[in-house]
Structure 1
Amino acid sequence: MPSDVSKKRDHRQYLRSGVAGGFAACVAKTVVAPLDRVKILFQASNPDFQKYAGTWTGAYRAGKEIYGQTGIRGLFQGHSITLLRIFPYGGVKYMTYDSIHDTLMPTRESETNLRRFLAGSASGLISVSFTYPLDLIRVRMAFKTRRSSPELQASRTVSLANAVREIYREGAHSKPPSVPTVGQSRIFSRFPLLSFYRGFSVTMLGIIPYAGTNFLAWGYLRATFLPPKSEQKKPTPIADLVIGAISGASGQTVSYPLEVIRRRMQVGGLTQPDRWIGFGETVRRIWATSGWRGFYVGLSIGYLKIVPMTATSFAVWQWAKRLLDV
């Protein structure tokens, strides 16, 4: 009987950690939503905003133009679907991390950087697998601009339903790459829902270094500067913010080229709706157009976004866990 009670208590603790993580992710995404919109436009090479990319003032000027065209709604375009995606994403990620962390590292002595990295990577992979279609829809909504989108010219906002229908139609009418793998053409023609997974493979590759480095830095810095047995150095919101910011910057630096490739693949249906643009072709196009710098376009605004977002996410997660007695 005692063991059953203990398991139930542990189960509730993980669920509470997931709720805290989902709430933290929503708060963090809301804080940086305007920067996220601009970064997507830069990464995906939106023709209306490429003139602003590559400069420190570009993000401000792009945001100013968006605000002038569509008001505050334009800066938060696609944010509603972001919140629908980010709560389960954050909840699954943090809940899974706690669970895997306790499994791989049941004691303080068993904590290693490799295990921290593996726990973070696994939690990122699982959470992305659950929520990827919502991320693709959000990117598509954020990518559209007034000059490039007829429906946006006639409306103040991009419709979620229109975005879903557009992606589905692309899958139904798209053609595979010129040199498909065995059975690829048949899969694309039979399953148009696969269009909701444009860029999924590169996302899975990118989340491994991003989430792994994120949680590795988080665990290492907390263990180093906030040791659990220290009475003088206890976790505080400020400490959580600083450590979260460093963790976010580390993960962003390691994984950014893969994020650029993913964004280009996600909007590929808008630039060439008649065919499926694969990983290799996307990489070649970026290199031919901009060289190695093309894989880091928008990195400065990426830091402006990811550092406060990750700092807020980790800090609110820890605050909510304390509030929920996790």
Structure 2
Amino acid sequence: MLFAILFSSRTAVAPLERLKILLQVQNPHSIRYNGTIQGLKYIWRTEGFRGLFKGNGTNCARIIPNSAVKFFSYEEASKGILWLYRQQTGNQDAQLTPILRLGAGACAGIIAMSATYPMDMVRGRLTVQTDQSPRRYRGIFHALSTVLREEGPRALYKGWLPSVIGVVPYVGLNFAVYESLKDWLIKSKPYGLVDSSELSVTTKLACGAAAGTVGQTVAYPLDVIRRRMQMVGWKDAASVVTGDGKTKAPIDYTGMVDAFRKTVRHEGIGALYKGLIPNSVKVVPSIAIAFVTYELVKDILQVEFRISD
């Protein structure tokens, strides 16, 4: 059931996800993707229907363990933080505050991201491959083995530091804003609800969309830097053809700070938000489809099931 929810939501927005990554790592010397509509049309014209879904298989395979670890870690971290908070304040009825939820969400995000990071790294490279690029990776396992053999184990964690830093505001704000909005709606006098189970799917969808929008906007520059660092050392496949017919390898980065500095210096601060529009567009439909699929599958199987299970 959980697989159906995640697979449906991820696959539906896969074209926007791929375009986002292509915009993030696009060589400034050869602009092929210029905006959401033009970018999707270009992919369709040059790579066909299948090109819109490159990297989606890896993303779906990664998201199952990632989500499982994330939700489990969040619940366990929340219990631990709440216990410590109650011990410190001496109030056994105390509840998690938005800041404490932020901390629990950040812990969950870091653990889940670290556990599945190698798959995210090769997913980025598989997504960037085009029909015009030299083909080096035939799939997840081929990409993992090739990177290990040619670049070493550390290469599987390129871009891990900005990912860790970015996951704090992203996942942390997601959980904090989502849970806080639900609490606010429940406690608001006009609603008079008892618990979150009485909230409609549409209301929860709105809370999730708001949380996702806030989190991804704050953390987005770190996501751009992460993707660019993941491409370092993959010059043959990541290089692109410029207007004069020559190949131009992507800029090499020695670390996160160097990547920030060179990106801003060569392309301006706006480069830190490349791909933000398609990424924002996919937030609402992704969450919407996840909730709708969840309700439909639950009705078909006639079971009561929580996503956090």
TM-score normalized by structure 1?
0.75
Match of 1:306 among 269, 283, 287: 283
Matching of residues 1-80 of structure 1 within 5 Å: 20=2, 24-46=5-27, 50-53=31-34, 58-80=35-57
- 1:135 maps to 2:120: yes
For the 8 Å contact 1:209–1:255, the answer to whether it is kept is: yes
Matching of residues 211-222 of structure 1 within 5 Å: 211-222=171-182
Q: Which runs of 5+ in 1 are unaligned?
A: 1-18, 172-191
- Please state whether the residue corresponding to 1:323 is helix, strand or coil: coil
Over the aligned positions, Cα root-mean-square deviation in angstroms equals 3.1
For the 8 Å contact 1:24–1:316, the answer to whether it is kept is: yes
In structure 2, relative to structure 1, the CA distance for the partners of 1:244 and 1:294 (3 Å cut) is same
CA distance in 2, matches of 1:108, 1:293: 47
Residue 283 of structure 1, CA deviation: 1.1
Match of 2:102 among 107, 117, 121: 117
For the 8 Å contact 2:36–2:277, the answer to whether it is kept is: no
Residue 323 of structure 1, CA deviation: 2.5
Equivalent position of 1:246 in the other structure = 210
The C-alpha deviation readout for 1:110-133, integer Å capped at 9, x for no partner, is: 120111101110110110011000
In structure 2, relative to structure 1, the CA distance for the partners of 1:92 and 1:27 (3 Å cut) is farther
Match of 1:277 among 232, 254, 258: 254
Residue 289 of structure 1, CA deviation: 1.5
Amino acid at match of 1:256: Y
In structure 2, relative to structure 1, the CA distance for the partners of 1:207 and 1:23 (3 Å cut) is farther
Residue 280 of structure 1, CA deviation: 2.2
In structure 2, relative to structure 1, the CA distance for the partners of 1:204 and 1:24 (3 Å cut) is farther
Q: Which runs of 5+ in 2 are unaligned?
A: 84-91, 236-248
- Please state whether the residue corresponding to 1:269 is helix, strand or coil: coil
- Please state whether the residue corresponding to 1:77 is helix, strand or coil: coil
- 1:150 maps to 2:134: yes
In structure 2, relative to structure 1, the CA distance for the partners of 1:108 and 1:295 (3 Å cut) is farther
Equivalent position of 2:88 in the other structure = none
- 1:163 maps to 2:140: no
In structure 2, relative to structure 1, the CA distance for the partners of 1:32 and 1:141 (3 Å cut) is same
CA distance in 2, matches of 1:27, 1:133: 23
TM-score normalized by structure 2?
0.79
Amino acid at match of 1:130: A
The C-alpha deviation readout for 1:19-45, integer Å capped at 9, x for no partner, is: 84x654333222211100000000011
For the 8 Å contact 1:136–1:266, the answer to whether it is kept is: yes
> Which segment drifts farther, 247-256 or 307-316?
307-316
Residue 219 of structure 1, CA deviation: 0.7
Amino acid at match of 1:226: I
- Please state whether the residue corresponding to 1:226 is helix, strand or coil: helix
The structure in which a higher percent of residues are helix is 1
In structure 2, relative to structure 1, the CA distance for the partners of 1:85 and 1:311 (3 Å cut) is same
Amino acid at match of 2:14: A
